[in-house]
Amino acid sequence: MSILLLTLFLPLAGFFVLLLLPRNSPLASPLARGIAILTAVLSWGLIAPALQSPATYTSSIDILWISSLGIHFHLGVDGISLWLVVLTTLLMVVGVWISDSLILERKKSFLALLLLFEFGLIGVFTALDLFVFYVFWEVALIPMYLMVGGWGGPRRVHAAVKFFLFTFLGSVMMLGAIIYIAAQAESFDYRQIIAGLSSGTLRFSSNEQLFLFLAFLLAFAIKIPIFPLHTWQPFAYEQAPAPATFLLAAVMSKMGTYGLVRFCMGLFPNAAHRCADWIIVLAITGIVYGACIAIVQSNIKRLIAYSSISHLGFIVLGLFTFDQRGADGAVYQMVAHGVSTGALFVLAGYLERRRGSMEIGDFGGIATVAPSLSSVFLIATLASIGLPALCNFVGEFLVLQGAANVHFWWAVYAATGVILSAIYMLWMYQRTFYGKAQGVNESLTDLTPSEWAPVLVLLVPLVWMGVYTQTFLPAISSANAQWISQSQARDEVQVKLYPALRPNGGLAPASISAALAGRVAK
Amino acid sequence: MNEINPPQAAEYLRFLPEIILIVAGALLMVLEGVTTTPAQKRRLGYFALAAIAAAMLGGVAANNNSGQAFHRMLTVDGYGTFFRELVLGVGFFCLLSSFEYLRREGAETGEFYALVLFSLVGQCILATANDLLMVFIGLEVSSIASYILAGFLRGDRRNNESALKYFLLGSFATAFLLYGMAWIYGILGSTNIDDIHNVLSGTDRIVPLPLIGMAAALTFVGFAFKVSAAPFQSWAPDVYQGAPAPVSAFLSAGPKAAAFAVFFRVFMTGFGPINGRWVPLVWACALLTMIIGNFAALAQTNVKRLLAYSSIAHAGYILVALTADSQVGMAAMMFYLASYGLMNVGVFAVINHVANRHEKFVHISDFAGLGKREPATAALLTVFVLSLIGVPLTGGFFAKFYVFRAALDSHLIWLTVLGLLNSAVAAYYYLKILAAVYMQEPGEATSTLQPLEPGLRLTIWATALGTLLLGIFPSALIGFVSNSAATVLGKLGP
């Protein structure tokens, strides 16, 4: 029995078992926790094979699913998806754990939805068949919609519907693109399509590539979200119950960034090149915009939400530099952002439960009454700012380095986001934790042992990723090198095919598009 | 062709489902007079169910012996059998879920069951019709029974309004259809669909195209009416809202499937050779139907009316398959109607359960808190709603996927893009149901819910499982529908 299959279907089995349990069964929490932990442990079994050959798909499963359309249930893990799967299963342990104390009613249903969500996420990060990818993409959406709408704040229904509609609108366009590609390629298989594209048996005109790329991009850009498609996000983060916010920020946004690497870059490198400048402008705008808006937020959850927009901008920037370092930094940042923002949202959830509010103005002086909580919050805050020796530093540094390699001023603009992040995070920290505790704040309690456990689970990778990058980076690098080299190879092939079109042997971008145009004409 | 051959035994066998239904229906009318107690009436219902099951078996027997019957009036092929079984299945579950409804309203009678059987006879004839005359007969048999069913609760004003509207507008549409058929007979000298195809595709064509185009347009109007395609959709919301819930379920799935079956057969085979003329028309009609259905549904608060508009929107997606005008399109339409039948009958069964006496609770807000009161029913309702939205792992998703695949195969890129955007709009109004079920506190309707009656329970579970099965393992059905479509289009030759 393949370990990937077990990792994937264990949460689904858990979902069904939880559904069948009676409503207030005391078994629900331990069972969900056990399944989440077991899934996490199982997912570590994927690490060794993937580290051995990170540029190929290991632990793969390939089962014929819908024979009449040639759809295979094809999954595999490479250096990029590996760490995202491990991140997902780890964060899900945290998610299930904190739900125990943060979700008070209909706990069983909530835990069941969490496990269904985990099933969808693992599937998204490992799918190697476009159809299967789409299926998991939507499977992950439904439980999140129900969690936000069923357990969230006062305007939860509105937030949930907005969240669903935005993401669904993006994904139907992606569905159209998938059908179109499959009709041309006569296969849904990611690797076959890539092989067809690189051998030239499968060709799309440059306009086709552009539109297909944009259809995928729309789905991913909404999910990440990239400015200006972010309007659903702060609202959803604010209204969602704490564990759902935690997962939305920490892992669901990675569905989008992962999709960018795997599908936008993998399938349409030329179109991605063509649009790179525009997308980088949006990414940098998002970095600065998110940071500026975060400064003026009065609600902690909203502040972290806007800071997320800013941090996710770095990931997009790194990917679209098409530079090895930039891409490595981007993928590293996907995992690091999951851990650091995850930690912030977990701790924010604890604060919210204690105080019943997320308004910064309601807090103050927490450091004296809850010193441990304040210390770990400070660590998470510093990680988010990008302090060296903590996880975010590595990713953002590499992204900026990659951006500087390609275009120095991009790095300069993006770096302002790092400075701004210090302003909004530290200011928020100061107002929340320092000063004199007054009123209800005087009686707030410190972390309990059961609250410590998930915090520790997050602190370990937070530091590990900051000080020992060699665990993670080589696998990410070689997987990235693969698509970067492929994208360059395909460019060169096209130029070489039409030497006559190359003015003076130059490699100007104009000649590439001229070559493409020539191919279309033929 | 003019010599009169008495029909052979094999031809009667091909007509077996209809024979069973007619005999059983007539028997029910007789037995109705001699039964008095509700328990006896209920037994008549079981008898009708048994008759439908027998007809389904008869359909299988007919399919094993496929071919034409009664001077090429009927064609029993995979396509026809598929629709026979589909409408019979819809009829079976609608009947099963109507027992509780009729008991609640104090209207248990054998007539109801007999009318359902007669309506099914008409739909079965439509499924296999190979001659425009049979199309007309099937349509009338099906419709007249349906008109009565829509107004079955005579004391209820909404029922009366529904029946009257359905009758007046339906007859009007049938008149168009009949007029079109008359034109065709006048121009081509035959009403047989194969003959129409042969004459139109003949090389020595002396057919005046404007005239035949006019005739095709008239039949198009008739069919568009029956499948509630825009701009002839305005009857559907009033009829579905007013009719008894099980009848609404029946009308939106059964007659519609049969009408689509004949719509596709007539246009893709009979009028296939002049497809350049009608495809642009259907293109516009499909787009308009999707847009009107989805956007009008956004504002609805009555669940039955909302589903009526949703049914219009779904007709639009199916018309996209007709626009594709290909074998894949035909197969996609068959798959779509199968999954639509399942999810729609299921969702109406849940409405039937919540609605209570005199359909007091059919507002979206009446579903509030269903998730707390009856988690299992709510979960199954979720399956239906997700399927209607088109979320993966449900039949509704795969159906949409298949339709848009057919459309892209035929290079209908804009129609696909607009259709996909439409399905995103549709998510909004379906989510309102889910939001009520899971995100609001129980109200009067869900607090006073009666326990789920066995017939309804069976209907809901069976249709939900079917919906999931079509979504997760669609292979077997895809194989069947694409073979059937290939047979229908293949026998025509190049």
Q: Where in chain A are the domains?
A: 3-521
Closest by CA position to B311, among listed B348, B278, B282: B348
Q: Residue B245 pLDDT > 70, yes or no?
A: yes
Whether residue A142 and residue B391 make contact (CB cut-off 8 A), yes or no, is yes
d(CA A27, CA B378) in angstroms, rounded, equals 23
Please give the residue of chain A at the shortest CA–CA distance from B480.
Answer: A68
SS3 A189: strand
Q: Residue A522 has what pLDDT?
A: 37
Residue from the list B416, B435, B475 with its beta carbon closest to the beta carbon of A161:
B435
CA dihedral A199, A204, A206, A212 (to 10 degrees): -120
Largest CA distance in chain B: 72
| Structural contact between residues A10 and A119, judged by C-beta atoms closer than 8 angstroms | no
Q: How large a percentage of chain B has pLDDT more than 70?
A: 98
Closest by CA position to A130, among listed A67, A180, A79, A68: A180
d(CA B117, CA B111) in angstroms, rounded, equals 10
d(CA A399, CA A122) in angstroms, rounded, equals 26
Residue from the list B386, B404, B475 with its beta carbon closest to the beta carbon of A176:
B404
For A459, the token pair is 């602190």
Which amino acid, B87? V
Helices marked H in A186-262: 190-199, 206-223, 232-239, 242-247, 253-259
Whether residue A161 and residue B420 make contact (CB cut-off 8 A), yes or no, is no
Confidence category of residue B218, pLDDT binned at 50, 70, 90: very high
For B392, the token pair is 């993966």
Residues of A in contact with B372 (CB under 8 A): 106
pLDDT, tens digit, 9 for 90 and up, residues B388-411? 999 999 999 999 999 999 999 888
Residue from the list A109, A139, A146 with its beta carbon closest to the beta carbon of B393:
A139
Please give the residue of chain A at the shortest CA–CA distance from B397.
Answer: A135
Lowest mean pLDDT among A253-267, A442-456, B314-328, B415-429: A442-456
Q: Residue A230 has what pLDDT?
A: 86
The tokens 């069919």 sit on which residue?
B223
3-state helix, strand, coil in chain A (%, to 5): 80, 5, 15
Please give the residue of chain B at the shortest CA–CA distance from A65.
Answer: B473
User: How do the pLDDT tens digits run along chain A, 522 residues long?
Assistant: 588 899 999 999 999 999 888 888 888 889 999 999 999 999 998 888 888 888 888 888 888 888 888 889 999 998 889 999 999 999 999 999 988 888 888 888 899 999 999 999 999 999 999 999 999 999 999 999 999 988 888 888 888 999 999 999 989 999 999 999 988 888 899 888 888 888 888 888 888 889 999 999 999 999 988 888 888 888 888 888 888 988 988 899 999 999 999 998 888 888 888 888 899 999 999 999 999 999 998 888 889 988 988 999 999 999 998 888 889 999 999 999 999 999 999 998 888 888 888 888 888 888 888 888 889 999 999 999 888 888 888 989 999 999 998 888 888 998 898 899 999 999 999 888 888 878 787 888 888 888 888 899 899 999 998 888 888 888 888 888 888 887 766 554 444 444 444 444 444 444 444 444 444 443
**Extended strands (E) in B77-198:** none
The string of DSSP codes covering A399-466 is: HHHHHHHH-HHHHHHHHHHHHHHHHHHHHHHHHHHSS---GGGGG-----HHHHHHHHHHHHHHHHHH
| Structural contact between residues B339 and B477, judged by C-beta atoms closer than 8 angstroms | no
Q: Mapped to the 3 state alphabet, what secondary structure does B4-53 carry?
A: CCCCCHHHHHHCHHHHHHHHHHHHHHHHHHHCCCHHHHHHHHHHHHHHHH
| Structural contact between residues B94 and B250, judged by C-beta atoms closer than 8 angstroms | yes
Q: Give first-to-last CA distance, chain B, whole Å.
A: 25
Confidence category of residue B205, pLDDT binned at 50, 70, 90: low
Q: Min CA distance, B109 vs chain A (Å)?
A: 39
DSSP letter assigned to residue A53: S
Q: Residue B394 has what pLDDT?
A: 93
pLDDT, tens digit, 9 for 90 and up, residues B165-177? 999 999 988 999 9
- Note if the bond before A228 is cis, omega within 30 degrees: yes
Please give the residue of chain B at the shortest CA–CA distance from A120.
Answer: B392
Residues of A in contact with B369 (CB under 8 A): none
Whether residue A179 and residue B435 make contact (CB cut-off 8 A), yes or no, is no
Lowest mean pLDDT among A119-128, A219-228, B65-74, B421-430: B65-74
- Note if the bond before B231 is cis, omega within 30 degrees: yes
d(CA A265, CA A275) in angstroms, rounded, equals 11
| Structural contact between residues A29 and A111, judged by C-beta atoms closer than 8 angstroms | yes
The total of other beta-carbon atoms located within 10 Å of residue B310's CB is 26
Whether residue B435 and residue A160 make contact (CB cut-off 8 A), yes or no, is yes
Q: Min CA distance, A144 vs chain B (Å)?
A: 13
Q: Residue A509 has what pLDDT?
A: 47
d(CA B336, CA B70) in angstroms, rounded, equals 30
d(CA A38, CA A34) in angstroms, rounded, equals 6
Q: Residue A273 has what pLDDT?
A: 84
Residues of A in contact with B426 (CB under 8 A): none
Whether residue A176 and residue B482 make contact (CB cut-off 8 A), yes or no, is no
Q: Residue A516 has what pLDDT?
A: 47
The total of other beta-carbon atoms located within 10 Å of residue A20's CB is 10
Count of pairs with CB atoms under 8 A, one residue in A, one in B: 83
Give residue ranges of A with CB < 8 Å to any B CB: 19, 23, 66-69, 106, 109, 134-135, 138-139, 141-142, 145-146, 149-150, 156-157, 160-161, 164-165, 168-169, 172-173, 175-176, 179-180, 182-183
To the nearest 10 degrees (0 to 180), the angle between helices A3-20 and A79-102 is 20
Q: Min CA distance, B443 vs chain A (Å)?
A: 16
d(CA B306, CA A168) in angstroms, rounded, equals 20
d(CA A325, CA A403) in angstroms, rounded, equals 9
Alpha carbon distances (Å) from A374 to A362, A366, A429, B133, B151 = 16, 7, 9, 83, 70
Q: Min CA distance, A309 vs chain B (Å)?
A: 25
Of the CA atoms within 13 Å of residue A302, those in its CB half-sphere come to 16
d(CA B484, CA B464) in angstroms, rounded, equals 25
The string of DSSP codes covering A309-353 is: HHHHHHHHHHHHTT-HHHHHHHHHHHHHHHHHHHHHHHHHHHHHH
The total of other beta-carbon atoms located within 10 Å of residue B487's CB is 15
Whether residue A139 and residue B420 make contact (CB cut-off 8 A), yes or no, is no
SS3 A61: strand
Residues of B in contact with A142 (CB under 8 A): 386, 391
Residue from the list A106, A138, A157 with its beta carbon closest to the beta carbon of B391:
A138
ipTM: 0.92
Of the CA atoms within 13 Å of residue A431, those in its CB half-sphere come to 16
d(CA B387, CA A142) in angstroms, rounded, equals 12
Whether residue A173 and residue B417 make contact (CB cut-off 8 A), yes or no, is yes
State the DSSP H helix or E strand holding residue A503, giving kind and residue range, or none if neither: none
DSSP letter assigned to residue A297: -
Please give the residue of chain B at the shortest CA–CA distance from A160.
Answer: B435
Please give the residue of chain B at the shortest CA–CA distance from A136.
Answer: B392
Please give the residue of chain B at the shortest CA–CA distance from A133.
Answer: B392
Please give the residue of chain A at the shortest CA–CA distance from B392.
Answer: A135
| Structural contact between residues B354 and B446, judged by C-beta atoms closer than 8 angstroms | yes
State the pTM of this model: 0.91
Burial class (CB in 10 A: 0-12, 13-18, 19+), A116: buried
Whether residue B401 and residue A179 make contact (CB cut-off 8 A), yes or no, is yes
For B302, the token pair is 């009555």
Residue from the list B408, B420, B427 with its beta carbon closest to the beta carbon of A173:
B420
Please give the residue of chain A at the shortest CA–CA distance from B432.
Answer: A161
Which amino acid, B303? V
State the DSSP H helix or E strand holding residue A57, giving kind and residue range, or none if neither: none
Q: Residue B4 pLDDT > 70, yes or no?
A: no
| Structural contact between residues A148 and A167, judged by C-beta atoms closer than 8 angstroms | no
| ∠ Cα B190 B195 B200 (to 5°) | 100
Whether residue B404 and residue A175 make contact (CB cut-off 8 A), yes or no, is yes
The β-bridge partners of B68 are B75
Closest by CA position to B437, among listed B394, B388, B380, B392: B380
Best B420, B437, B477, B484 member to test A by mutation, with max A CBs in 10 Å, is: B420
The tokens 């999931």 sit on which residue?
B468
Q: Mapped to the 3 state alphabet, what secondary structure does A85-150 carry?
A: HHHHHHHHHHHHHHHHHHCCCCHHHHHHHHHHHHHHHHHHHHECEHHHHHHHHHHHHHHHHHHHHH
Burial class (CB in 10 A: 0-12, 13-18, 19+), B398: buried
| Structural contact between residues A205 and A494, judged by C-beta atoms closer than 8 angstroms | no
Residues of A in contact with B379 (CB under 8 A): 19
Closest by CA position to A415, among listed A440, A393, A434, A436: A393
Please give the residue of chain A at the shortest CA–CA distance from B416.
Answer: A176
Of the CA atoms within 13 Å of residue A483, those in its CB half-sphere come to 31
Best B298, B383, B439 member to test A by mutation, with max A CBs in 10 Å, is: B439
Residues of A in contact with B404 (CB under 8 A): 175-176, 179
| ∠ Cα A142 A143 A149 (to 5°) | 90
Which amino acid, A148? V
To the nearest 10 degrees (0 to 180), the angle between helices A232-239 and A300-320 is 140
The string of DSSP codes covering A141-175 is: HHHHHHHHHHHS-TTHHHHHHHHHHHHHHHHHHHH
Q: Which residues contact A5 (CB under 8 A, 6 or more apart)?
A: A61, A75
Residue from the list B397, B439, B473 with its beta carbon closest to the beta carbon of A150:
B439
Residues of A in contact with B420 (CB under 8 A): 172-173, 175-176
